[in-house]
Amino acid sequence: MVKSWWDELLTSNAQPVKTLSSLLLLVGWEIWTEMNAHVFKSKVAPVAIITRNVKDEVSLWAIAGDKYSSNVMPRE
Provide the 10 A C-beta neighbour count for residue 32: 10
For residue 74, pLDDT beyond 80? no
Distance between CA atoms of 39 and 34, rounded to whole angstroms?
9
pLDDT computed for residue 8 by the predictor = 74
pLDDT tens per residue, range 16-57: 777 777 888 889 999 999 999 999 999 999 999 999 998 898
pLDDT computed for residue 66 by the predictor = 80
pLDDT computed for residue 13 by the predictor = 67
Using an 8 Å Cβ cutoff, are 27 and 57 in contact?
A: no
Distance between CA atoms of 23 and 30, rounded to whole angstroms?
11
